[in-house]
Amino acid sequence: MLVYIIRRLLQTIPVLLGVTILVFSMMHLIPGDPAQIIAGESASETQVEQMRERLGLNEPLVVQYGKFLGGVIQGDLGNSIRSGNPVSAEIGARIMVTIELAVYSTILSIFLGLIAGIVSATKRYTFWDTSIMIVALFGLSMPNFWLGLMLIQYFALPPLQWFPVSGWGTPGHIVLPVITLGTAGAAIIARMTRSSMLEVINQDYIRTARAKGVKEKYVIYKHALRNALIPVVTVVGLQFGVLLGGTVLTETVFAINGMGRLVIDAINARDFPIVQGSVLVIALLFVLVNLIVDLSYRFLNKRIELD
């Protein structure tokens, strides 16, 4: 197990390096002169030159990357072009909102997804199964920003006005964005749980348990679900990442001041250090979450093997 953890950690290093290289290259892949584009079309030649100096674009690429990587390791992601504040501070002020949104949505999607998946699998080919799977297909096929708009339309605007239209802070603010973001995840987890449960239910040891006269409820929850959950764990990890990315759209719809809005505003303002910093932080977070999921998956698997 320890060997596996160490190997898995070592495997993460090249990926992390790759992520930093890719994010670093973003500035250099801009078609044309990045300094000119970031400074704006109307900028004078000296202004462009200043911008180039400020972004460090005059130095050799390797030196630039070295400085970038050194900065990242120390938590220094450069300064915002628009506000002049450190990128890390701007991200720090927003990241908790986004993580909260993603965590709540993940919890909702696990909760709804598991229940729906278990009901569907245990009542296979019944009205319930069919309905749940149709709803899940719709959940999977809906653009989350549209779902958000519709939720606002019917639950935040008159006549109902149950929830605030936009913002973040009170429990009321959380409901609609979390439903918006969590629905697709719930659909994916429900489908995964269903197929995983069905696969397990057909296994010999389940038949044996039933033949022994174990109660059906006990068979489902003690024997089947425990093993069926293993592949679901991986999906949950991936889903958390997708939700982190998906917050960009949800935050735009609900005017929530998180990382997603930060990225979009920065893209529109050509504030590249902010774009780079935010993309990097979200990617690193995702790699970290996947690492944890991978290790826990391994752990679950080991325990079952030992059983």
Partner 1 sequence: MAETTVNKPAAKPPSPTIENLKTIFKKLRKNKAAMVGGYLIIFFVIVAIFGPLFTTGSPSAIDPTNRMAPPSADNWFGTDHQGRDIFTRIIHGMSITLYIGFSSVLIGAIVGVFIGLVSGYYGKKVDAILMRCMDVLLAFPGILLALAIVSVLGGSLQNVIIAVGIFSVPMFARIVRGSVLAVRKLEYVDAVRALGASDTRIIFRHVLPNIMSPIIVQATLRMATAILTASGLSFLGLGAQPPTPEWGAMLSAGRNYMWDSPHIALFPGLAIVIVVLAFNIFGDGLRDALDPKTK
**Total count of residues recorded for the chain:** 307
Shortest CB 269 distance to partner 1, Å: 11
Q: Quick check: 234 binds partner 1 (CB under 8 A)? A: no
**How many chain residues interact with partner 1 (CB under 8 A)?**
46
Task: Judge contact between 177 and 254, C-beta under 8 A.
Answer: yes
For residues 181 and 177, what is the distance between their CA atoms, to the nearest angstrom?
A: 6
Shortest CB 303 distance to partner 1, Å: 26
Residues in 19-58 at the binding interface with partner 1, rule: CB under 8 A: 19, 21-23, 26, 29-31
Shortest CB 288 distance to partner 1, Å: 10
Q: Quick check: 153 binds partner 1 (CB under 8 A)? A: yes
The one segment of 53-61, 66-74, 113-121, 283-291 that binds partner 1 by CB under 8 A = 283-291
Question: Judged by CB under 8 A, which of 2, 141, 171, 305 binds partner 1?
Answer: 141
Residues in 239-268 at the binding interface with partner 1, rule: CB under 8 A: 241-246, 248-249, 252-253, 263-264, 267-268
- Where along the sequence are the contacts to partner 1 (CB under 8 A)? 14-15, 18-19, 21-23, 26, 29-31, 137-138, 140-146, 149-150, 152-153, 157, 238, 241-246, 248-249, 252-253, 263-264, 267-268, 275, 279, 282-283, 286-287
